[in-house]
Amino acid sequence: MNPITPYRVRIRFAKLEGLRFIGHLDLQRLFERALNRTGLPLRYRQGFSPKIRLNLASALPLGFVSSAEVLDFWLNCPVELEEIKKSLQESLPKDIQIIDIEEIDNKRPSLQASLRSSVYRITIPISYAQEELIRGFNGLISKETIPFIRRKKTVDIKPMIESYQIEITPEASVLTLQMSSTAENNGRPDELLSFIKVDPADVIIERIQLIFEE
């Protein structure tokens, strides 16, 4: 057992384009190594082969970028937050940018447990006709159910869509979607794209907000 009260630190960070093809488990390993390089007094999990104690709020699908990811990690003693931010940022690849950092009460629930929803911004190039996109999307959203086959199981995406907005600019069509992000109902915006005949490889999907339960 570790007698010292751990110091819980939360960062919000952006995952930029250069790392969009690095998946969730790889990102976790990337943070373990980056934290290791800082020389900070890291807290480890208990167990046979202990790992650094860290916690990512939500897996960001491969290919997505984000300006709103959240990570908790624990230290064995308090360290000046600005100092942590500086040394961790120096040790991270440039495509991870720390936005802010704060201390979190140990009693607060885990990130995964309190995550409710995510907001995504999907930027669709104008090579996709804009009126057709609007028509297609409105048609889709007015349906009772949107069945989608996920790993051989049919799920209904409709109830996962919490709110949406379409914005048309001369440069692109921008679809903003709030979807549920819980273990039971994890909405994937790229799954909607096939219904409006958009290849997810043609668009940029950015997670712009994570919404937690207060």
Partner 1 sequence: MTIIDKKVLDKILYHVEKPGRYVGGEHNMVLKDWDSCSTRVALAFPDLYDLGQANLGLAILYEIINDRPHILAERVFSPWHDMEDAMRSQKIPLFALESKRPVIDFDILGITLPYESIYTNVLNLLDLAGMPLHASERDESYPLVIAGGQACFNPEPMTDFIDAFVIGDGEDVIFEIIDAYQLWKKQNLDKLSLLLALAKIAGVYVPSLYDVTYFVDGTIKSVDPKNESVPKQVHKRIAPQLPPPIKRQIVPNIQIVHDRIAVEIMRGCTRGCRFCHAGIVNRPVRQRKVADVLEAIDSGVKATGYEELSLLSLSSSDHTEILDMSKAVYDQNKGRRLSVSLPSLRIESFSVDLMDELKDLKPGGGFTIAPEAATDRMRAIINKPLDDKILFETVETIFNHGWLNLKMYYMIGLPDERMEDLEAILETAQKVLQIGRRLRGNRVRVHVSIGTFIPKPHTPFQWATSEDPLSIQEKINFLRDGMHQAKIKLSYNRPDSTLLEAWLSRGDRRLGKVIEKAWQLGAKFDAWDEGFIKEYWYAAFQECGVDPHFYTNRERELDETFPWDHISTGVFKDFLLEDYQMSLRGETRQDCRDGCYACGILDCFAQVRPSNEDVYWGCP
Q: Give residues in contact with partner 1 (CB under 8 A).
A: 18-23, 26, 29-30, 32-37, 39, 44, 48-50, 62-63, 91, 93, 95, 199-202
CB-nearer residue toward partner 1: 30 or 134: 30
CB-nearer residue toward partner 1: 78 or 93: 93
DSSP state letter for 199: -
Kindly provide the residue ranges of all beta strands, DSSP E only, lying in 35-160, ordered along the sequence: 54-56, 65-75, 96-104, 115-125, 147-150, 153-156
- Shortest Å, Cβ 145 to partner 1: 27
- Shortest Å, Cβ 36 to partner 1: 4
Task: Enter the tokens of residue 193.
Answer: 């794209």
CB-nearer residue toward partner 1: 93 or 139: 93
- Shortest Å, Cβ 125 to partner 1: 9
CB-nearer residue toward partner 1: 42 or 208: 42
- Shortest Å, Cβ 187 to partner 1: 19
**120 exposure class (CB count in 10 Å sphere: 0-12, 13-18, 19+):** buried
Name the percent of the chain in helix, strand, coil, to the closest 5: 30, 40, 35
Distance in angstroms (rounded) separating the CA atoms of residues 57 and 54: 10
